[in-house]
Amino acid sequence: MLMGLLRLLPPETAHALTISALKLGLGPSLKNKRDLRVMLFGKEIRNPIGLSGGADKEAAVLPAWSKMGFGIVEAGTVTLYPRNGNPTPRMWRLATPARAVAPSGAERMANKYNSLINWLGLPGPGLDPFIKNLAAFQTHPARKDLCVGASIASPDSKLDEFKILARAVAPYVDYITLNASCPNVAHDDHSLENTAASQIKSAKEGAGRIPVLVKLGPTRDITALERMVRAALSAGVDGFVATNTVPYSNSNLIDARRIAWPTHNGKEVGGYSGPQLLETSCWMVREIRKLVPATMPIIGVGGIQSGADAKHMLASGANAIQIYTGLIYKGPALLDDIALHL
């Protein structure tokens, strides 16, 4: 019933209320008692079920995610300075075919397609509150049960910002994800793989011994994917996250005929997340696995909304998975379903 009530609210309002409730300790407790321990980043974690970046932007409720049963939480994405993000509305639930709610419409429709388009633009209070929350969690009893990652980004692609961010978060996390493919901020015009390689090198300088992963944008172009992976490997990357949301420019990867894509100033905006992304994510994981050392971690994310989806992703070669949109629609019961299948 609670999930249904939340879906009557605008998505950002529902998310804010959820975070507030989790801060008050109102989140559900771990039900799964199965032994799903895996090794990741040189440490044993209780399960390979992760929460993707974007769900807990400020690392504000890490104990609640641990209590809920996650083995991994990727906090952020954090930027060096506070950001307002893009103009509202900037998150839309997708409804029945050809009737996705447009930015100017009322956001009240339940969605049987379990998908979102978000155009948030990396809003947040900046680095200082993020570090404060990470530091506070270091002494919490739940810290030993949770693999904590931090997603970092520089909206202006400033290399020094990646170095500063990585150095600041490194003492408090088990890994760092470089969000080099966010579709909701502007990027440089020059080669994406060269840009990502430069950012990886800067983050590695700041991260010290902490592994740095890169989050890739969705693609089915094997040549482009191979170029990106090889560039990242040459820059010293420690692993990959596949994949980010689908921007309109890449909407051939999904059945965009079902989507009345939101616009701002006459231009389609935002990135799709939902079930249609699963096969592309799994394909990318399989192809990346062929190109990297067998021991290199790959986190699979995109379209996972059931235990069968999670099993499919791990069978494709991922060491761990991440969910977010599926959690919005299915609630914490999704974690139990995944644990059952694993």
Strands 298-301 and 239-242: parallel
Q: Does residue 196 sit in helix, strand or coil?
A: helix
15 by Cβ neighbours in 10 Å (0-12 / 13-18 / 19+) ranks as middle
Q: What share of the chain is helix, strand, coil (3-state, %, to 5)?
A: 40, 20, 45
Give Cα 135 to chain centroid, integer Å: 21
CA dist list (Å): 86 to 79, 119, 139, 269 = 14, 7, 35, 10
Both structure tokens of 258: 């079902």
Those residues whose C-beta lies under 8 Å from the C-beta of residue 266, and which sit 6 or more positions away, are: none
Catalytic residue among 73, 182, 313, 338: 182
Residues belonging to the chain: 342
Q: Is residue 149 within 8 Å of residue 166, measured between CB atoms?
A: no
Q: Which residue in 252, 246, 243 sits closest to 273, CA to CA?
A: 246
**What is the spatial distance between Cα 59 and Cα 149, in angstroms, rounded to a whole number?**
10
Angle between helices 192-207 and 222-234 (to 10 degrees): 30
Q: Tally helices (H) and strands (E) across the chain.
A: 11, 16
**What is the spatial distance between Cα 195 and Cα 325, in angstroms, rounded to a whole number?**
28
Looking at 223-297, which runs of residues are DSSP E strands?
A: 239-242, 246-247, 263-264, 267-268, 271-273
Stated as kind and residue range, the H or E segment containing 91 is strand 91-93
147 is annotated as an active-site residue:
no
Active-site positions read 182
